[in-house]
Structures are given as structure tokens and as C-alpha cells.
Chains A and B, each alone.
Chain A
Amino acid sequence: MNLPEAVVEVSGLHVAFGPAGSAVEVVRGVDFSVGRGEAVGLVGESGSGKSMTALGIMRLLPRGSRVAAGSVRLNGCSLHGLSDREMSSVRGRDISMIFQDPLTSLNPAFTIGRQLTDAIRTHQAIGRNAALDRAAELLALVGIAGPRARLAAYPHEFSGGMRQRVAIAIAVACQPKLLIADEPTTALDVTVQAQVVELLALLREELGIAILFISHNLDLVAEICDRVMVMYAGEIVEANSVHALFRNPRHPYTQQLLRCIPRLSDGRGELPTIPGAPPRFGARPDSCAFAPRCDYVHERCWHTAPPVRADAGSRVACWLASP
């Protein structure tokens, strides 16, 4: 499989949380890359570390957490050597992010015209009127009717779906190479979710932006992404093209997860589930984190962490795949 040229490469990323003596690793050695114009999905449940991975890439980690090891490269240059000021100019111009709750990701005290023009003028030296024109164009691009008039509106005058569209407009204002979408539709109604997903697909086509789509919903990710990575307890346990992952899941967690998703086409009866729960206080580095819940667990899984088997475009971290 011919992978497009990489925009962002993450290697060996470790993110730790807590004071230095008793830190818990929430992201334990994550490797992946996102190519130009690609849509890559990152799927995981609570405690999988997917959001922390994204925040680690953006260097927006919350207080008390930090990147413990690894590197993030944007077009070949490492992001971790950059000063805060240099990193600020990368955010928005090269890599953008949208978040789950549109209520809190827009500032309620400013009009959306102001927030859009702020985003535009941070990275481009253009006048206020030119910025307003561009802002109206962006609103039209994301499907908001009457864009010129809406520039003067405040976030609370919009519904959740429209606020998320505005957040997307702000994120793509300077045509970044990568847009990280962290659970962008989780807080939205399902009919509105479909609209936002369609919008993201459209923007990818028109602007050539690569998208890293983070979600807990594997079906949703499959609708718009070309490649999918599944995370569990801070590691990527399987990564593959969408078709290959759904047709032939190799990691037991992926298999069981696919079985658990309730689908309209299913019959009636008990819902499949994975017994137990994801580890809450950090996993041990010398065993497979999924062992307590795995259907296929055997002796080796408890003593040694499984190796990562990487083929062309796919990876699996399981003893079953690397006997």
C-alpha cells in the first residue's frame, strides 16, 4: 500500500501523569504517522489515552502531565525542541484541533466574527476588513447561512451543531496541514453528527487537510477514515486500513469491540460485552494490558509484553500475531 507523504510522525510517544516518583503512564509508546490529505481514525475507550496523545502532539497537556519520552515531527522537524512561542505559531497554522464540547471551546464573551478574525490575524498579516471577508467566506464554507450577518452573533445564539461548525471554521481558517478532531460529535445529536461528519469529509476534499479523527465510536470512524488505529490502555494494539480492520480484525480487543457495538441490523437478545473493565491506574509494562479480559489469553501474555508486528500499513501488538 502506497502511503502518502507524512505530515505528522509520532514515534515512541510516552505521556505521564502525576508527580515524578509515582507517575502513571497514560500513553505508553505510540507510533503512527498521518499522510498528506489522509483521514486517520484513533479509536479507544476510557483510559485508552487517545485524547492525551492528541494533546501531547499539540503540546497542550493539562497541568500535572508531560511528555515523558518520544518525538513528534511535523514535516520532518521535531516539535519538542520548539519554544512556546514557536509552538504557538505552529498551532492553528500547521496543526489545528477541535474539541468535544462546542459549548466551552468557543469564548462566550466574544462574537464569532471576532474569534474568527483573531484566529486569522494571528497567523496572517492582513487588515481587519480583509479578515472579516475571509471569516464570512469560512462561515459559508462550513455551511452557515447568512454568513455576513452571523459574524456579529455570539456563541450562545447558536445550537450545538452550529457551534461545532464555527469551531471547525476557526480551525481551518489558516489551512492547516492537519486537523485533529477530538470526539467532535460525541456531544451532538445523531442527526447533527451526520452533518458534521459530512462537513469534515467535504473540507478534506476541498482543502486537502489531513484529519486525525479521535472517537470511541468505531462505526463512525469507519465512515470517514481510510485508516484506523485502535488504542487500549495507552498503546496502539492494532492499526490497519478500515476495510482490513473490519473484515479481518487481528487483535482480540478489536474483535471483541466490533462484536460489542450495537447495530440496527442485529437481531434481538443479549448484548455482547467484554467482561471486566479497562485498567484504571496505569498498566504494568511487563505484560499485556488486555490479558485479564482476553478470550485467547495464555501464559506468555502475563509475563511479557507482546511485540509489535508491523507489515505494510498495518500493525498488531499481540502474541497471536507473532507466535
Chain B
Amino acid sequence: MTPDPFPDVLSPGTPLLQLRNVTKIYQLRSALWDRLHRRRATLAAVGGVSLAVDAGDILGVVGESGSGKSTLGKIVVRLIRPTEGAVLYRGVDVSAQDGRALLPYRQRVQMIFQDTHSSLNPRKRVGRLLAEALAANGMKRDSRHGEAARLLRLVGLDQVVETRYPHELSGGQRQRVGIARSLCMRPELLVADEPVSALDVSLQGQIINLLTRLRAELGLTMIFISHDLAVVGRICTRIAVMYAGRIVEIGRPEDLMAAPVHPYTRALIDAVPKGLDGRAHRRKPLAGAPPAPGETVTGCPFRSRCPEAMAICVSQMPDKVRLSPDHDVVCHLATRGECV
């Protein structure tokens, strides 16, 4: 048995999860010609991300394609190892661990996936899926069935679901099974990677309300990754906005929605359809597109689309500015004190 290195009691001021300067760089396969000249294409999926999550928080991570939010989620659950930087859980660095050493971490941090079609093995019945997960967590054979039934009830599914194959269930039901499966490992921290993006709007609420209820009942901490700012703004205690692999602004929903500082955050808020209000106040949409994978840019990665870009933005990456204890932004406008 691998000993559990995580202290049960956190010293005051220590966050549950801390990311320090986490970077993930992928080496892309390059043509032979480039390799002969030692030119290797690299993709910086995540660059220098630092953040802290306290116990009981719900952190929302918002971004578009290429923002690196999914990669960040996978680094947190250690499906991917960061190229640089540290992932500290309860003060213990897990970024260098692998294999069996990670088992205690797996029993504390779990993930819920976006695509319900591929997140459940199509050849296994739900009952077997859950029993296997419980077995992986070391539960005795006799108790597995009862525990599986209890978890299904917990996520709002009838016990008959145990005999069904995933393709016999609807998207919402499959997602609930996915949640039940992640709970088999009795985690403290749950990373939800776009858990409702594939569901109808009228059903999204069911899953989101389930997650907030579970958080309250089980004392979970959550990281909620999504592209939907409205959902994130509703349930999260803090929101991190990502662009091109970096966090550009992080703060409480009230601050971010009411008075966004970073031009990208503002553009994101403007771009969300607003129904009749959107008809009345037409705003010019942001030009350009999120950066393609592999594109490297000097200075601030947002400068090519930023309506407030200045000369310094081209040459220099901005520093992080602390506007208030809960509100950080990475922008030259803030450095210069020019933001409102």
C-alpha cells in the first residue's frame, strides 16, 4: 500500500490546491528538413499558470479554443505531467510523481468529462463500471453492490440503471453515471471539464444543480471548466479567464461581470448573446480568432485582437497586477493604472 503523504489538517493560509508557474509544452512532429536544422515546432498549451484554490471553493475556468483550459484541468488531475512548474495538493508536490505513487492523489482528486459518449465504456453495463471503480479504490467485493446503488441514488438515478449499457441511456443520465463513477474514489476535489456543454439548455440545470448539491452535501471543492460565462458566473466563487494558455484575469464573479478589467474579459462578456437586450445595444464584435495551435507570439498574446493594444504590448508580456485581494489581472493597462 502506498502511504498517504497528504496531511489531514491544512495549516492556516495553505490552499487545498496550488499551481505554481505551471507550463505544458508539446513537441510537435516536424518535417525531417526542420529536424535536421534543429528546428522543432512546439506548442505551449499552458504557459506560466499560477493559482490557488481553497477548500470549499468553486473555481470557474473560462476560455475559448486554444485557451488551454482543458489541458490545465488534465494537469490538475495529473493525467498529464507539466513540463515546468509545480502542482501542490495540501502542500505536497505531485507534479513529479507517477504510477503507484499517485494513487493517494487519485483518491482525492477526480474528473468529470465532457463527452458522455466516450466517457463510459460502451461495452460495460453501468453496474460493472461502478463496481470496477470501487474495486480500484480497494472496496471489498461484498460491499460494492450496495455502494454502487447508494451512489446511483445520490446522483438521482434509479437502481435499474445498473443493468443498462451506456447507449441505452440519455446524455443527462450518462453524465450522472459519470459523476457517480468519479465519486467512487471518494474525492475531495472534483474537476469538471465542460460537464454540461453537450446537453440541452433545459437539462443543463439538472446536472449543475446536482453538482452544487453534492458539493454542499459532501464538502467537495470544485474546478468548473467551461466556455459558458453565464453558467460559470452563476455558481462559481471565483472565475479565471484564460487566453492562449495564460490566465488573463481572475476574480469574483461580481467583480468580473460588473467591472471587467482585461479587454478580453470585456469582449467575452459582450459576445454572449443577450436576447432582446442584444438587439437594442449592438456592439462591434471582436475581430480575429483565438490563436491557432503552435502559433508563438511575442509580447501579449491578445495584442492582435485587442482594441486597446499599445506599443508595449507587442514587445513585452505584461506582469500580474493585484487590483484587490481577490482580483488579479495581467494587462499593461492595469500596470499603467489606466483601467477604470
A262's nearest neighbour on chain B, judged by CB, is: B230
CB of B228 within 8 Å of the partner chain: yes
A45, A162, A219, A280: the one within 8 Å of B202 (CB): A45
Could you say which residues of chain A place their CB within 8 Å of the CB of B200?
45-46, 216, 278
CB of A256 within 8 Å of the partner chain: yes
Instruction: Report A262 CB to chain B, min CB distance, Å.
Output: 4
> Which of B24-32, B86-94, B204-212 lies at the interface?
B204-212
Pairwise interchain contact B273-A45, C-beta atoms closer than 8 A: no
A275's nearest neighbour on chain B, judged by CB, is: B206
A118 to B136, CA, bound (A): 57
Mask, B262-293, CB within 8 Å of A = 1, is: 00000111111111101100000111011010
Instruction: Report B72 CB to chain A, min CB distance, Å.
Output: 17
- Tell me the A254-293 residues at the B interface (CB within 8 Å): 256-257, 260-264, 266, 268-275, 277-278, 280
Pairwise interchain contact B276-A243, C-beta atoms closer than 8 A: yes
A278's nearest neighbour on chain B, judged by CB, is: B200
Pairwise interchain contact A194-B230, C-beta atoms closer than 8 A: no
A159 to B235, CA, bound (A): 32
Mask, B204-234, CB within 8 Å of A = 1, is: 1110110010000000000000011111011
- Tell me the A173-227 residues at the B interface (CB within 8 Å): 189-195, 197-198, 216-220, 222-223
Could you say which residues of chain B place their CB within 8 Å of the CB of A197?
273, 285
B208, B267, B275: the one within 8 Å of A222 (CB): B275
Pairwise interchain contact A273-B203, C-beta atoms closer than 8 A: yes
Could you say which residues of chain A place their CB within 8 Å of the CB of B50?
none
B254's nearest neighbour on chain A, judged by CB, is: A268
Pairwise interchain contact A270-B272, C-beta atoms closer than 8 A: no
Pairwise interchain contact B286-A273, C-beta atoms closer than 8 A: no
- Tell me the B103-162 residues at the A interface (CB within 8 Å): none
Q: Known contacts A191-B285, A193-B271, A195-B285; decide if A277 and B278 are in contact (CB<8 Å).
A: no
Pairwise interchain contact A262-B234, C-beta atoms closer than 8 A: yes
A280 to B169, CA, bound (A): 10
Mask, A140-160, CB within 8 Å of B = 1, is: 000000000000000000011
A190, A219, A262, A273: the one within 8 Å of B206 (CB): A273
CB of B64 within 8 Å of the partner chain: yes
B208, B233, B273, B286: the one within 8 Å of A219 (CB): B273
A264 to B170, CA, bound (A): 28
Q: Known contacts A194-B286, A223-B273; decide if A45 and B278 are in contact (CB<8 Å).
A: no
> Which secondary structure dominates chain B's binding surface?
helix
CB of B201 within 8 Å of the partner chain: yes
Pairwise interchain contact A269-B234, C-beta atoms closer than 8 A: yes
CB of A242 within 8 Å of the partner chain: yes
Could you say which residues of chain A place their CB within 8 Å of the CB of B289?
159-162, 189, 191-192
Instruction: Report B289 CB to chain A, min CB distance, Å.
Output: 5
Instruction: Report B296 CB to chain A, min CB distance, Å.
Output: 17
CB of A246 within 8 Å of the partner chain: yes
Could you say which residues of chain A place their CB within 8 Å of the CB of B274?
219, 223, 263-264
A248 to B259, CA, bound (A): 31
Could you say which residues of chain A place their CB within 8 Å of the CB of B228?
262
B67's nearest neighbour on chain A, judged by CB, is: A189
A296 to B288, CA, bound (A): 47
Pairwise interchain contact A219-B275, C-beta atoms closer than 8 A: yes
Could you say which residues of chain B place their CB within 8 Å of the CB of A222?
273, 275-276, 278-279
Pairwise interchain contact A223-B202, C-beta atoms closer than 8 A: no
CB of B65 within 8 Å of the partner chain: yes
A216 to B276, CA, bound (A): 16
A225's nearest neighbour on chain B, judged by CB, is: B279
Pairwise interchain contact A190-B271, C-beta atoms closer than 8 A: yes
B233's nearest neighbour on chain A, judged by CB, is: A264
CB of B318 within 8 Å of the partner chain: no
Instruction: Report B121 CB to chain A, min CB distance, Å.
Output: 22
Q: Known contacts A216-B201, A256-B202, A261-B201; decide if A266 and B287 are in contact (CB<8 Å).
A: no
A123 to B234, CA, bound (A): 50
Could you say which residues of chain A place their CB within 8 Å of the CB of B257?
264
A278 to B289, CA, bound (A): 35
B291's nearest neighbour on chain A, judged by CB, is: A159
Instruction: Report B240 CB to chain A, min CB distance, Å.
Output: 17
CB of B172 within 8 Å of the partner chain: yes
CB of B166 within 8 Å of the partner chain: no
CB of B253 within 8 Å of the partner chain: yes
A275 to B156, CA, bound (A): 12
Could you say which residues of chain B place their CB within 8 Å of the CB of A220?
273
Pairwise interchain contact B64-A218, C-beta atoms closer than 8 A: no
Instruction: Report B50 CB to chain A, min CB distance, Å.
Output: 25
A278 to B201, CA, bound (A): 12
Max chain A C-beta neighbours (<10 A), residue from B205, B206, B233:
B205
Instruction: Report B206 CB to chain A, min CB distance, Å.
Output: 5
Instruction: Report A143 CB to chain B, min CB distance, Å.
Output: 9
A218 to B200, CA, bound (A): 12
Could you say which residues of chain A place their CB within 8 Å of the CB of B286?
191, 194-195
Pairwise interchain contact B273-A271, C-beta atoms closer than 8 A: no
A-B contact pairs, 15 of them (CB 8 A): A45-B203, A159-B290, A160-B289, A190-B272, A192-B290, A194-B270, A194-B271, A195-B285, A198-B285, A219-B274, A223-B274, A243-B276, A261-B230, A264-B272, A264-B274
- List residues of A whose CB falls within 8 A of some B CB: 45-46, 159-162, 189-195, 197-198, 216-220, 222-223, 242-243, 246-247, 256-257, 260-264, 266, 268-275, 277-278, 280
Top 3 closest pairs, chain A to chain B, by CB: A273-B205, A194-B285, A271-B205
Extra 9 A-B pairs, beta carbons < 8 Å, given A193-B271, A268-B234:
A190-B272, A194-B271, A197-B273, A217-B273, A218-B275, A260-B204, A262-B234, A263-B230, A264-B269
